[in-house]
A and B are shown apart, each in its own frame.
Chain A
Amino acid sequence: MLAGVDLDVAPGETVVLLGRSGTGKSVLLKTVIGLVRADEGTLSLFGQDVTRAGEAAWNRARRDVAMVFQGAALFDSMTVGDNVALGLRHQRRQGEAGIAATVERCLALVGLAQTAHLKPASLSGGMRKRVGIARAIALEPRLLLYDEPTSGLDPVTSDVINRLIRRVQKELGAAAVVVTHDMASARFVGDRIALLHQGRIVFDGTPADVDRATDPLVRQFVEGRSDESLVGGGP
């Protein structure tokens, strides 16, 4: 699916990965966090080669990486507070009092203070996404991965999520990779934008570079045109 992806993310940088549906954006994110293993190539996280790492090594690497899933992936049987606390409890970084304080701080950061007792089923889509972000940042990761964070949300809620992503990046200082096909979101949250097409990165530049680009594939995506002459064939 991916054949020739070269992508570097600097500390504190937010890279947005654009591309059409089915081109492998989510697969790339899952490869970065080890949910999918690459057949070829090299993957380095914070200078460590994890390409052929075993499960124990991946679990150590994952302490510095967190992912916000497209559907939030909250655990329905737990409250919001328990969802946010799950990783902290498992890694035993703090006692219960410390965990409770961290949960409240993270929920407050995403604008959901005093909701720890609620169940995910009672939340709206935007609230579930924000809890997903709170759960990710509770572990203080050095790299955050966002899979379509504004997918399925109305424009106002999407803007809330975009601003939250910027705020989280500023507060944590973590690097981020944001997968999306929402151009407005990409321009707002991204320091750099990369375009994935048929398994390869075909563009990598700043949001200003995107607006100036003359590459037909980039222009087609930015302008939202379905021109069949630019697609087809294999990787």
Chain B
Amino acid sequence: MRDRAIGLAGEFLPSPALSGPALVGRQVLAFFEDTGRVSALLGQVLAGLPAAGRYAGEIVKQMALVGVGSLPLVILVAAFTGAVTAVQAAYQLEGMVPLRYVGSVVQKSVLIELGPVLTALVVGGRVGAAIAAELGTMRVSEQIDALETMAIPPVRYLVLPRFVATTIMLPVVTVFADFVAVGGGFVVAYLGFDQAWHTYFEAVRNTFEPRDLFSGLTKAAVFGATIGLMGSFYGFRAEGGAEGVGKATTQAVVASCVLVLVLDYVLANLLFRVAF
């Protein structure tokens, strides 16, 4: 601050922009700094969990926004996901494996992978952006500062309800997505290659394993926590008015989506190679 330039009116001017190696170095440092800050925010949220009951009303409100609000889009995406999976399963199985196993392929693919991941990407885009935009607007309009001045801890009041809501509701929404996707696969199987409903759903049932559902919902819970956390993190540090809020929203969505994919890989190894 002491080295900042002074303007004609005696005011402090912003620092000049960096370029070249200095910019790359700054971005590398910023990545590690952000990783630390996200971890610190997660720590604060987890430390506040015992007091979550105090914010029950806000948690329920956020659960409705995340869950009920996301359902129409999730159902649409899930229906087409199941349909496409059935089409491609039929294409790949034809001539090698009887088509009566299409239901099994759809069920396994959806429960283990497509259901939680695609639901998380859809919800991450919708809910993650909404959280970042709302909190970012609150930040630039000093509402978060106002909370601090009233001795209301902003992390517990704003981040905790959203984190809990997304962690709980993403598995719930994923269950809906799983059902709809399996149903979407049946529609293709019935209309595309005249498969009877009992053939399709017998294949779904015969290869169903509870660990597949459990693993998929575990992934969904982790993805949900990630979406709530990243939306809140970028929203909290928005600055610079409307442009800053827009930037925070974009960063939240990108970060959520990237982390969902990275965590999907990590969890797949943990759940299917280590745990089971």
Write the residues of chain A forming the contact surface with B, with a CB cutoff of 8 angstroms: 1, 3, 20-24, 30, 33-35, 55, 58-60, 62-63, 65-67, 69-71, 73-76, 86-87, 90-91, 139, 197-198, 226, 228, 231-235
Q: Bound state CA distance, A231 and B142, in angstroms?
A: 30
Chain B nearest CB from A7 CB (Å) reads 19
Q: Which of B9-17, B104-112, B178-186 contacts A (4 or more CB under 8 A)?
A: B9-17
Beta-carbon contact of A71 and B141 below 8 Å: yes
Given contacts A21-B9, A21-B11, A22-B9, contact A63 B145 (CB under 8 A): no
| Secondary structure class of chain B's binding surface, majority of residues | loop
Chain B's closest residue to A226 (CB) is B9
- Contacting residues, chain B, for A55 (C-beta < 8 A): 153
- Contacting residues, chain B, for A86 (C-beta < 8 A): 150, 152
Beta-carbon contact of A67 and B149 below 8 Å: yes
Can you list 8 A-B pairs with a CB-CB distance of less than 8 A?
A20-B9, A22-B10, A71-B141, A71-B142, A73-B143, A86-B152, A139-B150, A231-B8
Q: Bound state CA distance, A90 and B158, in angstroms?
A: 13
Chain B nearest CB from A77 CB (Å) reads 8
Answer whether residue B273 sits at the interface, using C-beta atoms and an 8 A cutoff.
no
- Contacting residues, chain A, for B142 (C-beta < 8 A): 69-71, 73
Beta-carbon contact of B11 and A65 below 8 Å: no
- Contacting residues, chain A, for B196 (C-beta < 8 A): none
The 0/1 profile, CB within 8 Å of A marked 1, for residues 1-33 of chain B is: 110001111111000000000000000000000
Q: Bound state CA distance, A34 and B153, in angstroms?
A: 13
Beta-carbon contact of B11 and A23 below 8 Å: yes
Partner among B6, B146, B149 whose Cβ is within 8 Å of the Cβ of A198: B6
Beta-carbon contact of B145 and A69 below 8 Å: yes
Beta-carbon contact of B10 and A90 below 8 Å: no
Partner among B2, B145, B150 whose Cβ is within 8 Å of the Cβ of A87: B150
Chain A's closest residue to B138 (CB) is A75
Answer whether residue B151 sits at the interface, using C-beta atoms and an 8 A cutoff.
yes
- B142-180 CB contacts (< 8 Å) to partner A: 142-143, 145-146, 148-153
- Contacting residues, chain A, for B10 (C-beta < 8 A): 20, 22-23, 197-198, 231-232
Beta-carbon contact of B151 and A231 below 8 Å: no
Q: Bound state CA distance, A213 and B141, in angstroms?
A: 37
Chain A's closest residue to B142 (CB) is A73
Q: Bound state CA distance, A66 and B152, in angstroms?
A: 12
Q: Bound state CA distance, A65 and B152, in angstroms?
A: 13
Q: Bound state CA distance, A139 and B138, in angstroms?
A: 22
Chain A nearest CB from B37 CB (Å) reads 16
Beta-carbon contact of A73 and B150 below 8 Å: no
Chain B's closest residue to A83 (CB) is B146
- Contacting residues, chain A, for B141 (C-beta < 8 A): 71, 73
- Contacting residues, chain A, for B149 (C-beta < 8 A): 33, 35, 62, 65-67
Q: Bound state CA distance, A91 and B150, in angstroms?
A: 9
Of A55, A66, A67, A233, chain B has the most CB atoms within 10 Å of the CB of A67
Beta-carbon contact of B145 and A35 below 8 Å: yes
Q: Bound state CA distance, A55 and B145, in angstroms?
A: 14
Partner among A69, A91, A234 whose Cβ is within 8 Å of the Cβ of B151: A91
